[in-house]
A and B are shown apart, each in its own frame.
Chain A
């Protein structure tokens, strides 16, 4: 891991722009603020262009001889394919409303992290090559040639945007930097400039069905570890099935939940809930990741990785699909999946087998978010809950970028949290819901070597957590995203020590009273329950 300065040092951030104009300020690849280049084997596995050993730090990026031609042709093609790109290239008035809305700008002070300037990096090249004014007037209208320095700048700053869409909430024209970044990354990929923290998971995901590269037997093993832990804690043996044909529901979740703490506790929560409901569902080792780093590579790669979900649902003959807690996975499912790989006419409109609720809002995609599913169960009184068992958790909720700004999944998780926990506190309103701040590591930027930039980008989120930590003693940061569960713990340790990160369904698992369970003495993490007398009070007798 790169050297990371102390918090008080890192927090000395100047937001004044430098003296030199942005076109004349070259990018500085300072360690700790960028991710390593994609390894050739990962690009080869995906048949992506220009696989080679290279490093952004070195002068020679080993680009193909006609790289400019490739990029400009790629840009031309995308201008024809995406109205969004044309509009976003043409109508920005540079009012600056987006500037201090970006977590990377707030945390780094680098003016090229202002969304407007990040977009201008691409716009300047667009103007020079695709507009009359730009061709004639050049710099006067913000146009410039595509040089190698510009490409390096693109690489640095488009892999310093987590595609969180916060700026697009504030933009008077809805200009979406995520869309611009996605397309800029597509262009970079045309000449082989990706980061390995995106390319490696994508290569894994293509071959094994999940980003971590877990092979079928390993997936089964990991879930069985969780089964054992559940039995130890509750005395109940849950029995998940794998690749089972004829199940009613296919469950797809991010593979991060299987792999490491604290995601594994969320996995335990899912398993306990499904067991308690007697849900007729199956895991798949093939469609073993709903997460999709293709989204961080190109629209085509997103489609290539997403295809397995419908394919597996069809092969197994399930009726509908239930999706776990994951942020960007839900952007793909809500805004892209049906368009990319549908129609899913072999599935049925999702209906909860427990409550009979029809999920009409998912009638074409046929995929339901687990917090929608669970909120419905709780509202219909189908779960026996003992929120006292989360007595030791003083909880706040971190809205993940994608479910909030690309979906609007705001109330469902909150409703669940308020039912399974007794102490719930909101962070300040400028930092939650549609205005939520990124964890600092989204968009495929969760690499160790990028730690300084991640901590900088995570500062606004951490600062809001610190506010409720100090004011209300909040010690649990709940979220519905696997990247959050990986990225927020180091962020909390750095800026707000004493706050644990938890999935919503981990807290559900703690509170869920299961048939035939033994007296619980610890939560899913093995932490002793605070007061067994209150913890087994009214809820069971209800």
Chain B
């Protein structure tokens, strides 16, 4: 159900932009209005979500500790996996965000006859995820070429490294291939692994198809249906300098690509894609395991009903006296 529905949705979006921009020629709508609206929703949506999270307190210090604690001086602590300082936490988050540390631990359990449990090497999800995210980031950074003048040297550098393979005179960006492969893999495993298929929602397939369509339209545009790059840059520079212009002669494939970006922008803040920001706020990863050394305050800590020693002694005084246990009040 999820796959069909998501595919239909992507087809509908494709038809909309094809007719709107290609047949009806609504270039202003698809080239300026929708991108501006999408960017606004993206920006304010993310801020709204992060502020909403940020306003909720962290009542307790609940890091998941994945290594030795800092205790006795002669026992070597695991500074990253069980951080006791801010530096350790930064290290832990950096490893998590940049290298997907936790996902790297992944194994696959198998139950054999006996019963005998085996845990297999399983780094494909880690690898697929890592390739996808790094390719996406690289492609995103490469696209800064369209939004800057002059183009910063790091962008050219990334382009150079990414495009070291050549097909004729043209650079073949390795990340273009990797992102298509990685997203296809992420989709494939979602369908093929029964447990993952069972938990998958339309909200899981849709973003995969959307990103796949986005990447595919980009690849088509770059390698197959060439568009007028200088006209594209005129449009994109117009957008970022708030002097929007619609140059003539940009093919419909560009509007398709831009529309998918816009849809992604709109979808982003209201979806699971917010994990991009959420990972930084995850209390099991961004707190130090030092609550025995440094007091952590819960802003809403309220008094509760307890059973006091006086009440306890009141009930058991006779038995305590008989057993020779010291009392606060000898009689009563």
Measured as residues with beta carbon below 8 angstroms from the partner, the interface class of chain B is 35 or more
Q: Which residues of B contact A85 (CB under 8 A)?
A: 56
Contact with B along A306-350 (1 / 0, CB 8 A): 011001100100000000000000000111101110110000000
| Interface status of A277 (Cβ within 8 A of chain B) | no
Q: How far is the CA of A342 from the CA of B297 in the complex (A)?
A: 9
> Which among A175, A379, A430 is the interface contact of B282 at CB below 8 angstroms?
A175
Q: Which residues of A contact B106 (CB under 8 A)?
A: 97, 170
| Interface status of B40 (Cβ within 8 A of chain A) | no
Contact with A along B56-90 (1 / 0, CB 8 A): 11111110111111111011111001101000000
CB distance from A299 to the nearest CB of B (A): 8
| Interface status of A129 (Cβ within 8 A of chain B) | no
Q: How far is the CA of A79 from the CA of B56 in the complex (A)?
A: 7
A100 engages B198 (CB within 8 Å): no
Which of B22-30, B170-178, B273-281 is near enough to bind chain A? Answer: B273-281
Q: How far is the CA of A461 from the CA of B82 in the complex (A)?
A: 23
Q: How far is the CA of A333 from the CA of B77 in the complex (A)?
A: 20
A83 engages B293 (CB within 8 Å): no
Q: Which residues of B contact A308 (CB under 8 A)?
A: 306-307, 309
Q: A8's closest neighbor in chain B, by CB?
A: B115
Contact with A along B183-224 (1 / 0, CB 8 A): 000000000011111111111100000000000000000000
CB distance from B303 to the nearest CB of A (A): 9
> Which among A80, A106, A407 is the interface contact of B65 at CB below 8 angstroms?
A407
Q: B272's closest neighbor in chain A, by CB?
A: A93
B115 engages A459 (CB within 8 Å): yes
> Which among B60, B119, B270, B293 is the interface contact of A364 at CB below 8 angstroms?
B293
| Interface status of A117 (Cβ within 8 A of chain B) | yes
| Interface status of A415 (Cβ within 8 A of chain B) | yes
Q: For chain A, what secondary structure do more than half of its interface residues adopt (helix, strand, loop), or is it mixed? A: helix
Q: How far is the CA of A243 from the CA of B71 in the complex (A)?
A: 29
Q: Which residues of A contact B53 (CB under 8 A)?
A: 83, 86-87, 90
CB distance from B272 to the nearest CB of A (A): 5
Q: Which residues of B contact A11 (CB under 8 A)?
A: 111, 114-115
Q: B306's closest neighbor in chain A, by CB?
A: A307
| Interface status of B226 (Cβ within 8 A of chain A) | no
Q: How far is the CA of A431 from the CA of B297 in the complex (A)?
A: 34
B102 engages A409 (CB within 8 Å): no
Q: A46's closest neighbor in chain B, by CB?
A: B305
| Most chain A CB inside 10 Å of its own CB: which residue of B54, B281, B313, B315 | B281
> Which among A22, A315, A434 is the interface contact of B67 at CB below 8 angstroms?
A434
| Interface status of A463 (Cβ within 8 A of chain B) | yes
CB distance from B204 to the nearest CB of A (A): 5
Tell whether A242 pairs with B64 under 8 Å between CB atoms, given A304-B304, A340-B301, A408-B69.
no
B62 engages A84 (CB within 8 Å): yes
Q: Which residues of B contact A372 (CB under 8 A)?
A: 71-72
Q: Which residues of B contact A460 (CB under 8 A)?
A: 109, 117
Q: Which residues of B contact A92 (CB under 8 A)?
A: 272, 275
Q: Which residues of A contact B143 (CB under 8 A)?
A: none
| Interface status of B285 (Cβ within 8 A of chain A) | yes
Q: A434's closest neighbor in chain B, by CB?
A: B66
Q: Which residues of B contact A364 (CB under 8 A)?
A: 291-295
A83 engages B271 (CB within 8 Å): no
Q: Which residues of A contact B272 (CB under 8 A)?
A: 90-94
A459 engages B65 (CB within 8 Å): no
| Interface status of B46 (Cβ within 8 A of chain A) | no
| Interface status of A150 (Cβ within 8 A of chain B) | no
Tell whether A90 pairs with B304 under 8 Å between CB atoms, given A80-B56, A363-B293.
no
| Most chain A CB inside 10 Å of its own CB: which residue of B96, B125, B297, B312 | B312
> Which among B74, B307, B325 is the interface contact of A242 at CB below 8 angstroms?
B325
Contact with B along A211-250 (1 / 0, CB 8 A): 0000111001100000000000000000000111100000
CB distance from A329 to the nearest CB of B (A): 13
| Interface status of B326 (Cβ within 8 A of chain A) | yes
B291 engages A338 (CB within 8 Å): yes
| Interface status of A206 (Cβ within 8 A of chain B) | yes
| Interface status of A360 (Cβ within 8 A of chain B) | yes
Q: How far is the CA of A169 from the CA of B65 in the complex (A)?
A: 8
A106 engages B117 (CB within 8 Å): yes
> Which among B77, B107, B119, B293 is the interface contact of A360 at CB below 8 angstroms?
B293
B82 engages A408 (CB within 8 Å): yes
Q: Which residues of A contact B140 (CB under 8 A)?
A: none
Contact with B along A85-128 (1 / 0, CB 8 A): 11100111111110111000010000100101100100000000
Contact with A along B295-319 (1 / 0, CB 8 A): 1111011001111110011011001
Which of A13-21, A251-259, A508-516 is near enough to bind chain B? Answer: A13-21
Q: How far is the CA of A243 from the CA of B298 in the complex (A)?
A: 31
Q: List 22 A-B contacts (CB under 8 A).
A: A80-B56, A91-B275, A95-B125, A117-B198, A140-B201, A140-B203, A170-B102, A172-B96, A174-B282, A207-B315, A220-B325, A315-B328, A334-B292, A336-B291, A340-B298, A375-B75, A405-B66, A408-B77, A408-B289, A411-B68, A411-B76, A434-B66
Give me 16 other A-B pairs in contact (C-beta within 8 A), A111-B198, A174-B282, A407-B289 excluded.
A11-B114, A83-B53, A91-B278, A93-B204, A96-B125, A96-B193, A171-B102, A174-B285, A243-B325, A315-B328, A361-B290, A375-B72, A411-B76, A412-B72, A434-B65, A459-B117
Top-9 shortest CB links A-B? A408-B69, A91-B278, A11-B115, A174-B284, A217-B323, A408-B65, A17-B198, A83-B56, A96-B196
Q: Please list the residues of chain A having a beta carbon within 8 angstroms of any beta carbon in chain B.
A: 7-8, 11, 13, 15-17, 21-22, 47, 79-87, 90-97, 99-101, 106, 111, 114, 116-117, 120, 131-133, 140-142, 165, 168-176, 179, 206-209, 215-217, 220-221, 242-245, 285-286, 299-300, 303-304, 307-308, 311-312, 315, 333-336, 338-340, 342-343, 357, 359-365, 367, 372, 375-376, 379, 404-412, 415, 428, 430-431, 433-435, 459-460, 463-464
Q: Please list the residues of chain B having a beta carbon within 8 angstroms of any beta carbon in chain A.
A: 5, 49, 52-54, 56-62, 64-72, 74-78, 81-82, 84, 96, 100, 102-103, 105-109, 111, 114-117, 119, 125, 129, 193-204, 270-272, 274-275, 278-279, 281-285, 289-298, 300-301, 304-309, 312-313, 315-316, 319-320, 322-326, 328
